[in-house]
Structure 1
Amino acid sequence: MEPTQNLDAEGITRRQSLAALAGAGALGLAGCTQSTGGSGDDGSGDGSGDDSLSGSINIAGSSTVFPLMSAIAEDFAEDYPDVSIDISSTGSGGGFSNFFCVGETDFNNASRPIQPAEEELCADNGVEYVELIAATDAVTVVVNPEADWVDSLTVEELATIWESDPAQTWDEVRDEFPNEEIERYGAADTSGTYDYFIEAVLGERGHTSDYQATEKDNNIANGVSGSEYGIGYFGFSYYYLNPDQLKALAIDDGDGPVEPSLDTASSGEYTPLSRPLFTYPSIESLGKEHVAEFARYFVEQTTNEDLVAGDVGYVPATEETQEEQMGKLEDAIERAQG
């Protein structure tokens, strides 16, 4: 995958580039193969300058955080071409269980906090980490653009569609809706978005298995855009990157319908589907200077409105949050390298 600046030169915007990456579900930014005076390919560069920082970084986890991490990694690669970064969209839980907590990746992206079973798995394998807040998201419920009969749903109606014993036709949700079968597209059960949706909307009612489940949010977007009576949910970025493909629904949590947006997520109006996003670097990995420098760069970029909001479609961190996260990170780096 070529860096964004090359794509822009061919007339492709940053947002279009990220939308394409979302569809692929993976990003590999290969470092230069020629030595530039660093300590070699073992990832132990001394960080004394761009030419000496080299090594590889492996990242897995949340499909929701994927476009943000991808954008930041591309910008980092411009300054540090000898650092190779591979990012995979595996879902928060899939990333923790299959990669991060068994010591195979340096970072795990997550759209919800690490869960107790994952903490235990990490502990069993000697994997220590630091939790860093990346941005704020608005989980977005989408339907087909031709669905002119629905503009909003209450939280209860949303639960009726997605609970373990769900409504089968739209008129079971609301009398004036059409008598047509509901086609559902959503996050797989290894996804943090799936976990968050249960927590915020469904609770003990559980989540239906009668839906098209995927780890790749772009597949949800494609499914709903091709289904006249389809419905799906995912992070706001995927609607933001595909606004002509989809129609976002306002959600009524008791005070009237509120549309998902950067403003309503930031203000707290968009309830109950606003949430923080995270990344978890491994303490051991932070002992390598190129990983520590990338982690610092990531936290620095979380307040970058042009990138986080403009290019990706999430609410940037506040200066206060960024300062807190950088303090946590520096403590972890000192511990790793001390």
Structure 2
Amino acid sequence: MSTMVAALVFAAACGNNGGGNETGGASNAPTNAATNEASNAPTEEAAKLSGEIKVDGSSTVFPLTEAAAEEFNKLHPDVRVPVGVSGTGGGFKQFCAGEIAIADASRPIKEEEAAACKEAGIEYTELSVAFDGLSVVVSKENDFIDHLTVEELNKIFVTGSTVATWKDVRDSFPAEPIVMFSPGADSGTYDYFNEAILDKAGIRNDKAISFSEDDNALVQGVSGSKYGIGYFGFAYFEENQDKLKLVPIDGGTGPIAPSNETIKDGTYAPLSRPLYIYLNNKELERPEVKEFANFYIENIGSLAGEVGYVALPDEKYAEEAAKIQ
């Protein structure tokens, strides 16, 4: 797992290369919407933009893209940007079928997905847009958990687990049945948890666990069960912290809870992760798509904090902006 954390830190520092045609070189792309109001004002030509930009994919990335789409629409009211939430895997299926212009993803594209895109003639550009801390949560009514270790999380969720009660996890916990909630298999959050916590062994699938691609359904499930536990993006915890309790995770250096600071500096390990959008390069030839992509990268740093995520360093956004050109 330490290898995975190091890889994430390196990726954040150095950037990620997309699978399609990209141009290198740094740029000084602005990253703060408030300080760049003048640069975001539409030109006469840009103001006349119209059309539809279809986006789908990760429910974790959804709040970021929705925020960007809403702000973009204020400048370009004739451009529609519908944003779906079919999960990272579901988004890539549509993306590689040429059905959407942009895929939201809470993990990098898989080899088989990249192969499907290549077979369909879809070239793409990968852009990192923010950091997230995958958050483990229990109900506010839970009065016995103050932290969990990575090993205990593995014991609870791994396929083939015989753990049935909280006492099976830690002897000091009550002998009450565990009620588990997890994103579905099409979710990048599912994939990341499976890799970071379960060493790719897979998540159990029995009567003790419920799956949903809708993070709001997971919130409702956990908050409504005193002995429930689930996981999803940090933004969904922040939005619902009045009814959820955050569980600090001990990855080997003591219990650490996700926060803007621990997510950005990587100390919330191994559950800190970058988030992405994927652009269909052919779609970028449409002026409204390119304008939206530029707007997204120029402004998402300031929007990220508003919707519960952590912005990348300014120099990273400059690198990502250069890929769009």
TM-score, length basis structure 1: 0.81
Q: Name the counterpart of 2:30.
A: none
Per the alignment, in what secondary structure is the counterpart of residue 88 of structure 1? coil
Distance, in Å, in 2 between the alignment partners of 1:317 and 1:298 is: 13
- Report the secondary structure of 1:87's partner residue: coil
User: Match of 2:301, SS?
Assistant: coil
Aligned counterparts of 1:49 and 1:237: Cα–Cα separation in 2: 36
The residue identity in structure 1 corresponding to 2:70 is E
Residues 77-122 of structure 1, C-alpha deviations (whole Å, 9 max, x = no match)? 001000011100010001111x111000000000000000100111
Q: Show the counterpart of 1:15.
A: none
1:128 and 1:51 map into 2 onto residues whose CA distance is: 28
What 5-or-longer segments of structure 2 have no aligned partner?
Answer: 1-42
SS of equivalent to 1:104? coil
Partner SS state of residue 95, structure 1: helix
Distance 2:307 2:47 in 1: 29
- Please list, as runs of the form range in 1=range in 2, the aligned pairs for 1:107-256 lying within 5 A after superposition: 107-166=102-161, 167-210=163-206, 211-256=209-254
> Which of 261, 264, 272 is the aligned partner of 1:263?
261
Contact 2:107 2:192 in 1 (8 A): yes
Inter-partner Cα distance in structure 2 for 1:292 and 1:196:
30
Provide the alpha-carbon RMSD of the alignment. Answer: 1.2
Rounded to whole Å, the distance in 1 between the matches of 2:200 and 2:125 is 30
Deviation by residue 1:107-166 (Cα, 9 ceiling, x = unmatched): 000000000010011111111110000100000000000101002100000101110022
Letter in 2 for 1:148: D
The 2-side partners of 1:295 and 1:204 are apart by: 33
What do residues 233-278 of structure 1 show as CA deviations (whole Å, max 9, x unaligned)?
A: 0010100111102111000011110011111101111000000000
Q: Tell me the secondary structure at the aligned position of residue 52 of structure 2.
A: strand
Cα 1:82/1:227, change in 2 over 3 Å: same
Q: State the 1:207 CA deviation.
A: 1.2
What amino acid does structure 1 have at the position aligned with 2:181? Answer: Y
Give the distance between the partners of 1:204 and 1:221, measured in 2 at CA.
24
Aligned to 2:51: 55
TM-score by length of structure 2 reads 0.85
Percent identity between the two aligned chains:
46
SS in structure 2 of the partner of residue 68 of structure 1: helix
Secondary structure, aligned partner of 1:132: strand
Partner of residue 100 from structure 2, selected from 102, 105, 123: 105
Deviation at 1:48, TM superposition (A): 4.6
Q: Do the aligned residues in 1 keep the contact of 2:179 with 2:228 (CA within 8 Å)?
A: yes
Runs (5+) with no aligned partner, structure 1: 1-46, 331-338
Q: Distance in 1 between matches of 2:281 and 2:155?
A: 42
Corresponding residue for residue 87 of structure 2 = 91
What's 2:324 paired with? Answer: 329
The aligned length equals: 281
Partner of 1:288: 286
Q: Which protein, 1 or 2, shows the higher relative CO under an 8 Å CA cutoff with sep ≥ 6?
A: 2
Change (3 A) 1:180 1:194: same
1:68 aligned partner: 64
Match of 1:17 in 2: none
Q: Which amino acid aligns with 1:220?
A: L
2: CA distance, partners of 1:218 / 1:119: 29
Structure 1: distance between partners of 2:79 and 2:242: 36
Q: State the shift of 1:317 in Å.
A: 1.4
Following superposition, the deviation at residue 51 of structure 1 comes to 3.3
Distance (Å, rounded) in 1 between the aligned partners of 2:260 and 2:71: 23
| Per-residue deviation, residues 189-223 of structure 1 (Å, max 9, x unmatched) | 01001111111110143211132111111110000
1:302: Cα distance to partner? 2.6
Structure 1 residues 274-330: Cα deviation after superposition (integer angstroms, max 9, x where no partner): 0000000100110000000000001111321xx211x21111011110011011111
Q: Does the 8 Å CA contact 1:140/1:248 hold for their aligned counterparts?
A: yes
Q: Aligned partners of 2:109, 2:201: CA distance in 1, in Å?
A: 22
Tell me the equivalent position of 1:316: 311
Cα deviation, residue 49, structure 1: 3.0
Task: Please list every run of at least 4 consecutive aligned residues from structure 1 whose deviation after the TM superposition is greater than 4 angstroms.
Answer: none
Give 3-state SS (helix, strand or coil) of 2:132's partner: strand
Residue aligned with 2:90, SS: helix
Output the CA distance in 1 between the equivalents of 2:70 and 2:291.
14
Identify if the C-alpha distance between structure 1 residues 195 and 204 changes in structure 2 by more than 3 Å, giving closer, same or farther: closer
C-alpha contact 1:302 1:317 (8 A) present in aligned 2: no
Amino acid at match of 1:165: G
What residue number does 1:335 align with? none
Q: Deviations over 1:29-77 (max 9, x none)?
A: xxxxxxxxxxxxxxxxxx7534311110000000000011001110000
